[in-house]
Amino acid sequence: MRIWIVDVFTDRVFSGNPAAVAPLERWLPDATLQAIAAENRLSETAFVVPTGLRGNYQLRWFTPTTEVPICGHATMAAGAMILSELEPNLEVVVFDTHAGALVVRATKEGYTLDLPRRARSPWTAPAEIVEAIGNPRVVDAFVAEYANLVLENEQAVRDAKPDFAAINRLVRGPRQGCLVITAPADDGKPYDFVSRFFAPGAGVNEDPVTGSAFADVAPYWCDRFDMESVVGYQASKRGGYTRAVQTLSSVRLHGQVAVYLRGELDPSVARLSNREEEPEAPRRKPRRARKAKQLPAIFEDPLLPGLNGDAAPPPPPTSHPAPPDDGEPPPPRIVVEK
């Protein structure tokens, strides 16, 4: 079982958003897929299974705690590995997913990913949610795939201090516990907008770079700036860029990838289908009764006879033997004076 770890929306390792990609011959039990994702401890692990048609695969995504309905960066990672390593003669791969058909294409600059464009609905964000990110000034809010808050400027996005427990509790809807914050870029920056994505509801407090969140905010900024395409930067600790082009029904994200790891999963992983069972304890021989350890003579204490486990010795004789116990009083002592 092969596995890759791929940094997405970046041209170098240790930046962008890492995702694991595991191609399978057939689907393993959900418990095994979830256990692999938990062991990887990445924001998402993508599993792909061929459908039998050339360039067509089924695709599912798991965080360390749950399966998610869509993940942009892990889809691009899976597409990149198929097009570069599994089927290098192809230029396009189509994934069948819970979110519909997703297409990844190889380009001269890297890869593109087409994600569905979600309709935006106005949203009046509760004050408690705004307080959960440090109470910045909010200039707009809407719901698409996720709940989105538009802040006044780039610094407000960078300075946000999220209360993840509060976000998980307060943000409701189909993507409960997930929140995007975004703002226009400062003048002179090489990107048009900045964003961050918090997803404690999916087991990821802050995602480094999020394709599906870009698909939410990029059309908003295209409309706001009256542009066909925009460049976005996700201001996480790792950071990452994408160029997004909107159409009537989709958002095309352009990005690069950097492979961090190529490896193999042990074949035993496929057999561990029930993670509810406790691991088998190692077998050992039954214990045997042990004799009391004989202490060396150096530890003998004359005041504590029998320390070595032996019977206590009789007391030393006195100068006057004890009288016989015959029930009569002892005879008087006769002292002879000289």
Enzyme catalytic residues: 44
What is 118-155 written as a DSSP string? PPPEE----HHHHHTTT-PPEEEEEESSSEEEEESSHH
Q: How far apart are CA 241 and CA 10, in angstroms?
A: 7
Q: For 82, phi and psi rounded to 5 degrees?
A: -65, -45
Query: What is the residue type of 165?
Result: A
Measured distance CA(104)–CA(85) in Å, rounded: 14
CA distance 79 to 45: 13
Token code pair at residue 263: 């490896």
- Say which DSSP state 41 is in: T
How far, in Å, CA of 143 to CA of 35, rounded?
32
Q: Reduced to 3 states, what is the DSSP secondary structure of residue 294?
A: coil
Rg of the chain's alpha carbons, rounded to an integer? 36
Q: 151, 140 in Cβ contact below 8 A?
A: no
β-pair partners for 80: none
Using the structure block, give the residue that is written with the tokens 């050992």. Answer: 284
Question: Beta partners for 46?
Answer: 21, 61
Report d(CA 97, CA 69) in Å as an integer. 8
Instruction: Count Cβ neighbours within 10 Å for each residue of 102-130 and write b for 16 or more, e otherwise.
Output: bbbbbeeebbbbbbebeebeebebeeebb
Q: C-alpha angle 142/146/152, rounded to 5°?
A: 45
